[in-house]
Structure 1
């Protein structure tokens, strides 16, 4: 569900259009002007409340078409299309035009749609683009919709999932509950006669233990592993571990060393010792220990899921959403908790689901948002491994847990401890939820990290250089009251 580094590179192109977009009038797909109510939210032109109606109620409804945009793998595309089909079966007067856009192109294409008065009614949104657009008042307040809903309340959801500009305004809700873990190919561990990574947070490997295992699972073309004197780091056929270098996995590692990206007093936390130590440890996996592919090598390696399946890597520090691809491929895999630095906690992360103020069909858009957030109506998205719920009861009610997290290939035995219960009990949010001016801070921070991964600069040197560029852009955090 979340993105690769390629997707983030699209942000720079998107920002070039931001000035133009600020002047674009909010309109729906046919260019009609939006009618705003006194609270500032788009009003439905239907004129009556939509209920989760029966067949008789549906006969009284005017036909509505919702334009819904999303990204994802081929398996995710199929899963979303099946979910929206079930939605239209429940609400037959609503047609969903589900538009799949490759994630690397998503921000640029959504920007062009909005600029051309072809805005979606609702859809996925990267935090990099959501933050500047919410400042331009492009999104509906989810809290207002929720507070006026007869079925749901804020307390029904995990605490961290709201993209908020204030305590009273949520411009987005997490598309899903998602976090990072240590995925591993069990066959490769069995061949090396190594114990599997622990799933319980209290039993997490130390970083040194993790590195030692990764060395034993890194094999050159002559069959030597990285602990052996004849190992050739230039001829590796199997890496012990892999990770991506966008903000998600990097921030998750920094958090586990009790570091921060932007501190609560408005400083660039990545330049502080807890963060630079964590970032350096990741870089050392590539350049010192030779157990992880460099960004250059990663370009020739398939997706993380395919890399595990094809045994190009033994472990991957990656996001929960690849359960969908691993389960569908019936890979013999499992999930451990991330290795411990000062702690091992799960970082909650997700793209935002938003409703555009330009929609003419606010009530129907809210119905689809609720439908996708509730596993009951779109259970395949959860059971097949793409998403974790955002609603608390789906973590705590055994009967509900059994519907999605048990007895299926996308949720191996370690999933509950390493991800499900861990996120429920210990989850902390990624910076995209609370860092003001997130798009600029993210772009500047990660454009300067390539030299760290290539071994040309230490993390400390690079972060000090980046600090001078980032600090003027820091505007604080939404979770800190001025």
Structure 2
């Protein structure tokens, strides 16, 4: 391998004794990549490029490029992420220095060809878990898992690495950690940035683990299954929750089971809620003008599907300048949820999108969209598909995503009389929400301390509030609504509390480790056919089934190996 330099300082790095030594005392080179044959060079360079953050753990930093040597030509490149060159400021919070908390090369790292496979593309195929597990500090035995001293909070100095994927200002997050420092002075928490899409974040976890970053806490993802089966990144905390008599009844039971448990064991806490429909809002003025009775905000008596459909018809103008509804959440699961239909069975084994129940659910959705033409997405509509349609008096009903508080704030000064209502009832009436989880990393050598940090962040929904998300802790919902919606006293916002309690579990397909592959190869093309009315929806679903089933089966076989 050619000479290795720290690009941030331009100084050479001499490697020896399992660590980096030489003129650049802060020089950083992930051992796994170095041993796999990657060299660090000054950009610009030729060949497949992987951008890697934080070549210096304490000094100024920039962009490091790892260029594939000729002998690695058989492996396809995998883009990990772009890091913009900049200077670290004195006393700046660690989160502000993206990934500047990457530790120096570990003394023990057995990753060789396995880590190359982990970094070069396996994160997108689901086959990276075993490789990354083997790359974790201490090997693939799950360091710290299963009890012992590591399961109890330490009284000695401890440094935890928190892999952060979430919103909120860096200063606010640092203040929260400062508060934790007051409670546990012996614990220092450093932050490791894994921001980006779910796929990008998982790739950053894989790359960080391959490079020797021993993460202790991971947050911001949708399901434990994705993190366990794709990069083997979480460990069970069942024993810790039982030991502490931790109250799991504080969460929506369906959400807890579907997102935070894996193989019946607790792996994470659903500390917040996101999703595609966290609130349904309507314009009272438009309903009055159309002579329609106000829809129900009582989850015990939700408006029926027929009442919903008739209201949308009466709110819609034939010329497309006004519609009843902006959009119906996400086409894959919002409408089907109301009819108890699924794409994938809860055991994650069988695709059932061609079932009559699912076909019927899509036919009802299709009637709204194409037959009645009551949606902003319908042919001939000139209405925006977002909340602007409601604010502009061009839509009577809007299904809003996770940022329902953001919508409320946007109504200030809009002279809009609005309120929350239930979802229309098919066999059920349910918001389409998805919990956001945090869990103890499998590689953690201080699982007890990581668990204590997780409980602190979950307590009083501190992390959810910092990220301006809806609390996942149900007892905190009432206070959240009262505090944030007080100025909209007629909005019926209190109904959101019961709505979160009753929300149905999300479609299992969304939690499959190869969801992104499914989207790219099957789901998105199917949606295009559906929106173009190229085929009947039943034919589209039947065509999608074998392709999705193959992805599911291939993943299952790869896990068995």
Alignment check: 8 A CA contact 1:42 1:357 kept: no
Change (3 A) 1:316 1:378: same
Task: Map 1:329-368 to 2 at 5 A.
Answer: 329-331=410-412, 332=416, 333-346=418-431, 349-368=434-453
- With normalisation by structure 2, the TM-score equals 0.61
Change (3 A) 1:135 1:34: closer
| CA–CA separation in structure 2 for the residues paired with 1:307 and 1:212 | 19
Q: CA deviation at 1:467?
A: 1.7
After superposition, the C-alpha distances for 1:182-211 in whole angstroms (9 at most, x for unaligned) are 223445545656443311134322323223
Matched, 1:213 2:213: no
Partner of 1:49: 153
Question: Paired residue for 1:137, among 229, 232, 243?
Answer: 232
Number of aligned positions between the proteins:
415
Partner of 1:171: 267
Local SS of the residue matching 2:262: strand
Q: RMSD of the TM alignment (CA)? A: 4.3
Specify every segment of 5 or more residues in structure 2 that has no aligned partner in the other structure, as ranges. Answer: 1-80, 82-120, 557-561
Partner of 1:228: none
Matched, 1:16 2:124: yes
Change (3 A) 1:284 1:245: same
| CA–CA separation in structure 1 for the residues paired with 2:177 and 2:144 | 30
After superposition, the C-alpha distances for 1:405-439 in whole angstroms (9 at most, x for unaligned) are 2253288643333x322442x44311339976663
Larger Rg computed on CA atoms: 2
Partner of 2:54: none
| CA–CA separation in structure 1 for the residues paired with 2:134 and 2:337 | 38
Q: CA deviation at 1:111?
A: 0.5
Q: CA deviation at 1:463?
A: 0.8
Alignment check: 8 A CA contact 1:375 1:389 kept: no
Local SS of the residue matching 1:339: coil
| CA–CA separation in structure 1 for the residues paired with 2:188 and 2:509 | 31
Alignment check: 8 A CA contact 2:423 2:429 kept: yes
Specify every segment of 5 or more residues in structure 1 that has no aligned partner in the other structure, as ranges. Answer: 1-9, 51-59, 219-224, 226-230, 396-400
Task: Map 1:230-241 to 2 at 5 A.
Answer: 231-233=318-320, 236=321, 238-241=322-325
Question: Paired residue for 2:281, among 180, 183, 189?
Answer: 183
Question: Paired residue for 1:147, among 242, 261, 268?
Answer: 242
Task: Map 1:115-130 to 2 at 5 A.
Answer: 115-116=207-208, 117=211, 118=213, 120-127=215-222, 130=225
Q: CA deviation at 1:347?
A: 5.1
- With normalisation by structure 1, the TM-score equals 0.70
Matched, 1:469 2:560: no
Partner of 1:275: 358
Alignment check: 8 A CA contact 2:126 2:513 kept: no
Alignment check: 8 A CA contact 1:184 1:316 kept: yes
After superposition, the C-alpha distances for 1:42-76 in whole angstroms (9 at most, x for unaligned) are 985xx9625xxxxxxxxx753635333224xxxx4
Local SS of the residue matching 2:268: strand
Local SS of the residue matching 1:123: strand
Change (3 A) 1:113 1:452: same
Q: CA deviation at 1:268?
A: 3.1
| CA–CA separation in structure 1 for the residues paired with 2:290 and 2:173 | 41
Matched, 1:90 2:183: no
Matched, 1:199 2:293: no
Alignment check: 8 A CA contact 2:133 2:140 kept: no
Partner of 2:507: 431
Change (3 A) 1:334 1:17: same
Local SS of the residue matching 1:24: helix
| CA–CA separation in structure 1 for the residues paired with 2:530 and 2:203 | 32
Change (3 A) 1:96 1:316: farther
Change (3 A) 1:40 1:272: same
Partner of 1:450: 528
After superposition, the C-alpha distances for 1:86-111 in whole angstroms (9 at most, x for unaligned) are 34213244345374734xx3422440
Q: CA deviation at 1:157?
A: 3.5
Task: Map 1:358-397 to 2 at 5 A.
Answer: 358-375=443-460, 377=462, 380-381=465-466, 386-391=469-474, 393-394=475-476
Alignment check: 8 A CA contact 1:204 1:340 kept: yes
Q: Whose RCO is larger (CA < 8 A, sep 6+)?
A: 1
Change (3 A) 1:429 1:326: same
